[in-house]
Amino acid sequence: MAREQLQVLNALDGAKTQWYHFTAIIIAGMGFFTDAYDLFCISLVTKLLGRIYYHADGSPTPGSLPPNVSAAVNGVAFCGTLSGQLFFGWLGDKLGRKKVYGITLLLMVICSICSGLSFGHSPKGVMATLCFFRFWLGFGIGGDYPLSATIMSEYANKKTRGGFIAAVFAMQGFGILAGGTVAIIISYVFKIKFPAPSYKVDPLGSTIPEADYIWRIILMFGAIPAALTYYWRMKMPETARYTALVAKNAQQAASDMSKVLQIEIQEDQSNAEKVINARGQKYGLFSGEFLRHHGLHLLGTATCWFLLDIAFYSQNLFQKDIFSSINWIPKANTMSAVEEVYKIARAQTLIALCGTVPGYWFTVFLIDKIGRFSIQLIGFGMMTLFMLGLAIPYHHWTTSGNHIGFVVLYGLAFFFANFGPNSTTFIVPAEIFPARLRSTCHGISAAAGKAGAIIGSFGFLYAAQNQDKAKVDHGYSPGIGVRNSLFVLAACNLLGFFFTFLVPESKGKSLEEISGENASGSSTSMTTNGDLPPV
């Protein structure tokens, strides 16, 4: 039986779109802008790090990071992110969203700066410092996922909530774009200021001493957007849903939201307590009741995010290797070190501009019209088809004159990742779980995603190596090749399509209606095929 709803929550659900919504999107979104910049900018400079610190005299090809170092540099931030998602997700439900929101941002600012510094000049010292600070950078980034998603979902009205959460996540696209743009500008300036010959003309001279500044500047730049939003994060009030439903202070929630919404909201504390206590929803995360109400939902959100991130991060982090394998980026020995950074950044920025960013914004504008379920199914389905379209005629794409077709299909795969599961896996866990467990469950789902990202980043590094031992990168063993790796990614997307059926649709409903919090006791539970259609 449905129960009376608190006045302050009714006011939030029915609020017209106004300035505070956009302010919240910008404040939370700038965190995601920084997250994406910091996570993906490393892929722009790993080739440069290999040239600077692992040059081998007499080698026909430029220096490259040894396999274990490359895996650590590419993947250590994801290990930190996974830990941060679990820790800050749990902490956000225990202490409140706002109290821990500033900590994550401070960690990101400090560790972005420190990532560009190093203890000593030896390769081991530089890489150890980089990995240490990128782990803690990831830890801060991890906290931003559950907190930003939960805050935006709890601030939004039910009519446009999906679009608002999607807009926060869409800032990730601009972060990826910014990383490429910053790398293009910095490498171009250094290329003009310090011209250098290609590696095959002068192996030592092709890597100018000043190149060591390039990767440091690119990594440290990520501190700027995070620092700019710290003050505004601290000014945000705690969300009304946490204050009223978890902290059980409905009067404070009404006072906070009266200022935000600029309307008068009256809440009788004694009546509010009766409303809250009448719901009887007291079960914890590790209870049989949670398993009955939300067990399949958590399995669905976590598994879909896990499968999506295997494919998404493999594609993103190793674009440079894929583009090199189809000869879209020239052979490394035909370029100087700075020229290589410029070419890699240019290629990745083009993909972000044409495929990644538009996909996010299609989700923003359409998610509250066609729903989360449809977008996620379409996304996983189209990603599967495009991956097969790249993999089946792979040898055709590697021949001269066919590179543009490959890049178009590759860009479309990114488009449907972002107009699809990369957005919806972030949005849905912030909507379907009870307020007292919302941040924790989002953190668990996101951490499952990062486990997929770790598998994608570490696994693809080795798997994509050529099957011919004579053609593998220095220090690596033969792998299954790029073509077979693309088949594996297609299989992950197909599995994601089927696991989507475990997750409920949340379009157009209040958070309490979706999670079952406005029902009496434990008599009502939201099932995938019951109260709500499956998502």
Residues 118-126, mean pLDDT to the nearest whole number: 88
Task: Answer yes or no: is pLDDT of 154 > 80.
Answer: yes
Is there a contact between 366 and 384 (Cβ–Cβ < 8 Å)? no
The 10 Å Cβ neighbour count of residue 471 is: 11
Q: What is the model's pLDDT at position 32?
A: 87
Residues 469-476, mean pLDDT to the nearest whole number: 71
Task: Answer yes or no: is pLDDT of 525 > 70.
Answer: no
Structure tokens belonging to residue 259: 């200022």
Query: 527: pLDDT confidence band, cut at 50, 70 and 90?
Result: very low
Q: What percent of the chain has pLDDT over 90?
A: 47
Residues 168-176, mean pLDDT to the nearest whole number: 91
Q: Give the pLDDT confidence of 336-348 residue by residue, as tens digits.
A: 999 999 998 998 8
Query: 247: pLDDT confidence band, cut at 50, 70 and 90?
Result: confident
Task: Answer yes or no: is pLDDT of 242 > 70.
Answer: yes
Length of the chain measured in residues: 535
Task: Answer yes or no: is pLDDT of 322 > 90.
Answer: no
Helices (H), 352-471: 357-370, 372-391, 394-398, 403-418, 421-427, 438-463
Residues 147-152, mean pLDDT to the nearest whole number: 92
Q: What is the model's pLDDT at position 276?
A: 65
Query: 4: pLDDT confidence band, cut at 50, 70 and 90?
Result: low
| Residue 230 backbone phi and psi in degrees, to 5 | -60, -50
Q: What is the model's pLDDT at position 534?
A: 39
Q: What is the model's pLDDT at position 439?
A: 95
Task: Answer yes or no: is pLDDT of 400 > 80.
Answer: no
Structure tokens belonging to residue 65: 């990071």
Higher pLDDT, 407 or 208: 208
Q: Give the pLDDT confidence of 71-111 residue by residue, as tens digits.
A: 889 889 999 999 999 999 999 999 999 889 889 999 999 99
Q: Give the pLDDT confidence of 270-284 residue by residue, as tens digits.
A: 666 666 666 656 788
Query: 286: pLDDT confidence band, cut at 50, 70 and 90?
Result: confident
Q: What average pLDDT does the chain have?
A: 86
Q: Compute the distance between CA of residue 204 and CA of residue 91 in angstroms, rounded to an integer.
A: 51
- Cβ partners under 8 Å of residue 370, min gap 6: none
Q: Give the pLDDT confidence of 354-364 residue by residue, as tens digits.
A: 877 888 899 99
43, 46, 42: which is closest to 319 by C-alpha?
A: 43
Q: 62: helix, coil or strand?
A: coil
Residues facing residue 504 across a β-bridge: 534
Q: Compute the distance between CA of residue 154 and CA of residue 165 in angstroms, rounded to an integer.
A: 10
Residues 217-229, mean pLDDT to the nearest whole number: 91
Q: What is the model's pLDDT at position 409?
A: 85
Q: What is the model's pLDDT at position 443?
A: 97
What single-letter DSSP state applies at residue 329? Answer: S
Q: Give the pLDDT confidence of 438-466 residue by residue, as tens digits.
A: 999 999 999 999 999 888 877 776 776 77
Higher pLDDT, 486 or 80: 80
